[in-house]
Amino acid sequence: MNGNRINRLWDWDPWREMRRISNDLNRMFDRYPSTTEREYPLINLWSGREDIVLTAELPGVEPADLDISVQGDTVTLRGSRNPYELKEGETYHRQERGSGSFVRSMQLPFEIDAEGVKARLDKGILCIHLPRSEQDKPKKIDIKSF
């Protein structure tokens, strides 16, 4: 009896158990969309004293299919990416890049001068320069002595 128990211990593979648990967890989480699927496009944002620069990855998006709006301290990107049209007899083996409409709004650390905004789309990267509004810029106060 003890010999059978010892033999079963030698047959036990902890790595097989880890793979089984990992596969179970992957199946469980496959049901839920990932964060990046909801946050499209991916954005980098940085600021200086005078402006903010926003870059976004938009592969396959045409400038005509993109709308940028600024209101106060919020910038909104709206657009769509058209799906690739398969030719007759072609079939997808993997399709990870999505298509369709998207909207992404970002609240900025200060108000923007909407008239001075400049945007450029080059090789799938959108770059927007958003200048700080004059009324929102810090003002230096002169101190007078009496």
Distance CA 132, CA 59 (A): 28
Dihedral class, residue 60 (left if φ above 0, else alpha if ψ from -120 to 50, else beta) = left
If you ran DSSP here, which 8-state letter would residue 65 be given? G
CA dihedral 56, 98, 107, 45 (to 10 degrees): -20
**Where are the domains positioned within the chain?**
36-83+99-136
Per-residue pLDDT of the chain (146 residues; tens, 9 = 90+): 565 655 555 676 778 888 888 888 877 776 665 544 557 899 999 998 889 999 999 998 999 999 999 999 999 999 998 888 889 999 888 888 788 899 999 999 999 999 999 999 999 999 999 999 988 777 888 899 88
CATH of domain 36-83+99-136: 2.60.40.790
Distance CA 17, CA 39 (A): 35
